[in-house]
Amino acid sequence: MIVDPRAGKLPTPAMLVNVPRLMTAYYTQRPDPAVPAQRVAFGTSGHRGSAFDTAYNEDHILAISQAICDYRRQQAITGPLFLGADTHALSASAWASALEVLAANGVNVLVDDRDGYTPTPAVSHAILTHNRARSSGFADGIVVTPSHNPPRDGGFKYDPPGGGGADSKATGWIQDRANALLADGLRAVKRIPFDRARRVATTGGYDYMDSYIGDLGNVVDMDALRGAGLALGVDPLGGAGVHYWAMIAERYHVPITVVSDEVDPTFRFVSVDADGKIRMDCSSPYVLQRLLALKDRFDVAWACDTDHDRHGIVTKGTGLMHPNHYLAAAIGYLFPHRPKWPAQAGIGKTVVSSSMIDRVAARLHRPLVEMPVGFKWFADGFLDGSLAFAGEESAGASLLRRDGTVWTTDKDGIVLGLLAAELTAVTGRDPGELYGDLTKEFGEFHYARIDAPATPEEKMVLRRMGPQQVTATELAGDRITGILTIAPGNGVPIGGVKVTSANGWFAARPSGTEHIYKLYAESFTGADHLRRLQDEAQAIVARALAAGALAAGALAAGALAAGALA
């Protein structure tokens, strides 16, 4: 990948989003439902886009909010809806638009009683806390966030009563209903003015901070942190949990240094990512330059993205850990130190996460559950106790409470940061050192993701690819041992393909927002072998895409011929 020369440096004034123009675009630009890029489109984490592109405007939010109200009625969801938002520029306006519709529909909405920002895990925790031991009156939620996307973007995701991201059936229904409302000029959307929506009896307050923070000792061993004498640091990156850390430090008497509590919708204090964009990606070394410069001041430190559902772990010796490395180290630590976890509870991972996790799971004699990309696939496992920990390669994870019951069913960057401190306090070794122990036991694994250009037609071919479209029999000198297009953990299509051999694997899946496909690869033998894997993987994918394009062309030609004959 070509690294932009601005990467790792603070953005120049010319790179900052013009917030007044962005807000004007939100309220004035009207989407055309006949244009695919301007329709509501739920990906793995809800609807995302920019008001500048007429992809995230007031009409979208009004339509989605009404669709969620209609979905709640269809599903007989009668409890409160927890409504939260992050620090992106578009989030406050979208939050207000949503409340206007929710209140007009008579939904009991619970908003932050401190008028603050709300991390994704705090919303999941609130939903599950309300629903625990209930047989009716279940709650659900909405989080207004595009996660770590650039400052020009907005995002809107729905959490059903399970507390995690909604499944494809639910998001598909909401998406289709929202687009129908857009096409009908929003005539069926109910709405009342914002000041009235704040004052109606169905809008109430909820102390997200106190509820979530007061419960942290049940998922992380805060007593171990209190007496360890560790120097701990956190960079909230101007995100939704920015004010949570001081309360955590005060409540549990843990010395956590917040390196900055600045909030600015331009994110001018975040260094530029590898591609030259401002992006609050806590797994990027370019983004975490501020924290990395301070790493020697702390025994362990971490950062979270804008909605605080992701984590980035920094140690003195390692620097920023690769997300896969931290997941493996965390799993290796947790199971021996959580005696109350169910004896048969397994470990969840996505199909594109490191095989080091497989090795650790086997050593622990725990079931490994491999799912498609998207944390929503792990929610049921946390709820029924069949999963004790689940993580994805993009630095998101969650785990059970210390007593073996559910904590959150969405990703929790706050807990994963505190967990890094716990395992350092308990073992006397930081997460980087614990991962080093795993490499001595299982060997060095070399993992990378690269992006390759792909047209919309090629992305469709890749999304629908079957095993028979991979014609190769060898991969980087080894016999191909498996071709997966269905996730072993739940039988759901992975939206791409994964090819395995004795010494490595690759997976390819199309991007949901860009004209690229993502190629993940891992070698169990070395960096040179990884490069060979990547080269051969790209060739395999290219052949499959070319064959798919030919087949699609032949099918179209046949349809034309049939039409002419008719």
Q: Which residues are catalytic?
A: 147
Check: CB of residue 481 under 8 Å from CB of residue 552: no
Residue 472 CA, chain-centre distance (Å), reads: 33
DSSP state of 51: G
Q: Do the beta carbons of residue 282 and residue 304 sit within 8 Å? A: yes
User: Is residue 452 within 8 Å of 516, Cβ to Cβ?
Assistant: yes
Both structure tokens of 178: 């929202």
3-state secondary structure of 146: coil
Distance of CA 299 to the CA centre of its chain: 27
Closest CA to 444 of 354, 364, 314, 519: 354
Neighbours of 98 (CB within 10 A): 25
What 3-state DSSP class applies to 210?
helix
CB proximity list for 208: less than 8 A, separation 6 or greater: 82, 84, 112, 114, 116, 118, 119, 122, 123, 126
At 85, give phi and psi (nearest 5°): -155, 155
Distance from chain centroid for Cα 560: 43
Region class of 54: left (phi > 0), else alpha (psi between -120 and 50), else beta = left
Side-by-side strand order, sheet with 81-85: 42-43, 46-50, 153-159, 140-144, 81-85, 109-112, 203-206
Residues 6+ apart with CB under 8 A from 59: 30, 31, 182, 186
Residue 392 near residue 281, CB atoms below 8 Å: no
Other beta carbons within 10 angstroms of residue 328's beta carbon come to: 30
What is the SS3 assignment for 46?
A: strand
Structure letter (DSSP) for residue 14 = G
C-alpha pair distances (Å), 332 with each of 39, 360, 366:
44, 6, 11
110 forms beta bridges with 82, 204
